[in-house]
Structure formats: structure tokens, C-alpha cells
């Protein structure tokens, strides 16, 4: 299987970047849950401080969305189950400065362009029998937005968490999720440790096989 985890950093100059607060804890928990059952897992992760010692997890470290996209492409076709848990940056600077930008004016305009939509590409190129799961982190209208993402990106299921729920989202050791599958079923879970959430996700994926 293939799992992505953590953030991506999109460089502005050699010392600054666009990023987010993802720690990779959820993605690592998912990778380890499957590995403990004997699965051969490829874990593509952005810049995180986490470690895993399970020998059947092959870890690939990347920094940017482009690097994560190309790493996923390398392993996607041979993966039966793919869980895209990474918080990939939606935009990157059009121009990356080679030297540190010096502080001068009171304001600065930064031109951005979209990054490669990894999940959309994988969904468009999904093979028969291949299971593809994605994540949606929302702040409002979670079920609505996650359902739209599920359909648009041709997913088998989507895991929704929202910053409206205390203890859910980035940086916590806990998470509170809803899982929506391609049949329109919605499964609601209480706040749990991310290791326990990974088990719920594993069981939901098993129902799709």
C-alpha cells in the first residue's frame, strides 16, 4: 500500500517557505496500522520529525508538492490500497528566489500558482480494484465539502476532520473523524487517539475490498 503523511513546504527563498501545521502523526499511524497486519507499506512523507522502526515500511522523504507527486507516481500503479493523508500545499510561489529576500518595503506581493493536485490525478488514473482514500480538513460545512471532494476526485472513501472539533486536526495526538464512502454512507466517530482512529480507517477500507 501507499500512504502519504505530513505537510509540504513550498520555498519562497532559501530560508522561507509556504507550509502548514501538519505533523504527520495521522499518516504515520495509518502506515503502522497496516504494516502491523503484514502489509508492505510505502510511506511518502513531507518534512516531519517522526520516526518508524517497522521493517515493512519503506519511508521516502520529500519536501515539496512536486516531489511528493513524483514519489507517489513511482509507487501508485503497484499499490492495492492508497491513503493520501498528507496536507499538501495548494499553492506555491511562481518564482523561487535564489538568495534570501531582504526586508525593505512595508509590504510585499507574492505571486502564487496551484500545485499539482495529487489526489485528483490518482483518482483519474485509478485501476479497477484499487482502493483510494483521501482526507479533508475543513473549518465549516465539513460533510458538504468532503462529499464534493469524494466525488470530484473519484475516491472510494474520504476521511473528514474539522477544526470545529476540539482535539482534532493538526498537532494533536487525538482526532475526531467522519468517514464518507462512495455509496454515500457516513460513519461518525468520537474523539480518539490517532492510533485508534487509524484502526477505524483500516476497518472502513477493508469494507471497500
Using alpha carbons, select from 180, 171, 179, 205 the residue that is nearest to residue 83.
205
How far is the C-alpha of 137 from the C-alpha of 161, rounded, in Å?
5
pLDDT for residue 169 is more than 80: no
Mean pLDDT of the chain: 95
Residue 170 is predicted with a pLDDT of 85
Residues 6+ apart with CB under 8 A from 167: 174, 175, 176, 191
Q: Rounded to an integer, what is the distance from CA 183 to the centroid of its chain?
A: 22
pLDDT confidence tier of residue 32, bands split at 50, 70 and 90: very high
How far is the C-alpha of 120 from the C-alpha of 117, rounded, in Å?
5
Q: Which CATH class is domain 2-98+112-208?
A: alpha beta
118, 149 contact by CB (below 8 A) = no
Cβ neighbours around 143 below 10 Å, total: 15
pLDDT for residue 165 is more than 90: no
pLDDT for residue 186 is more than 90: yes
- pLDDT tens-place string over residues 39-91: 999 999 999 999 999 999 999 999 999 999 999 999 999 999 999 999 999 99
Instruction: Give me the residue spans of the domains in the chain.
Output: 2-98+112-208
The residues that are catalytic are 20
pLDDT for residue 104 is more than 90: no
Give start and end residues of each alpha helix (H) in the chain.
Answer: 25-35, 65-76, 118-124, 142-152, 194-208
Amino acid at each position: 500500500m501507499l500512504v502519504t503523511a505530513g505537510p509540504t513546504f513550498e520555498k519562497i527563498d532559501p530560508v522561507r517557505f509556504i507550509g502548514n501545521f501538519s505533523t504527520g502523526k495521522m499518516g504515520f499511524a495509518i502506515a503502522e496500522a497496516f504494516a502491523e497486519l503484514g502489509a508492505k507499506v510505502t510511506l511518502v512523507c513531507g518534512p516531519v520529525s517522526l520516526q518508524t522502526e517497522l521493517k515493512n515500511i519503506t519511508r521516502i522523504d520529500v519536501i515539496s508538492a512536486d516531489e511528493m507527486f513524483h514519489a507517489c507516481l513511482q509507487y501508485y500503479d503497484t499499490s492495492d490500497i492508497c491513503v493520501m493523508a498528507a496536507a499538501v500545499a495548494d499553492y506555491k510561489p511562481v518564482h523561487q528566489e535564489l538568495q534570501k529576500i531582504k526586508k525593505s518595503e512595508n509590504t510585499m506581493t507574492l505571486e502564487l500558482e496551484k500545485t499539482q493536485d495529487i489526489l485528483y490525478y490518482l483518482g483519474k488514473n485509478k485501476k479497477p480494484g484499487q482502493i483510494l482514500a483521501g482526507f479533508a480538513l475543513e473549518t465549516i460545512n465539513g460533510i458538504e465539502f468532503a462529499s464534493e471532494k469524494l466525488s470530484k476526485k473519484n475516491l472510494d472513501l474520504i476521511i473528514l476532520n474539522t477544526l470545529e472539533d476540539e482535539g482534532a486536526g493538526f498537532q494533536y495526538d487525538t482526532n475526531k473523524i467522519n468517514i464518507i464512502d462512495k455509496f454515500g454512507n457516513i460513519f461518525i466517530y468520537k474523539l480518539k487517539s490517532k492510533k485508534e482512529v487509524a484502526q477505524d480507517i483500516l476497518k472502513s477500507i477493508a469494507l471497500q475490498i
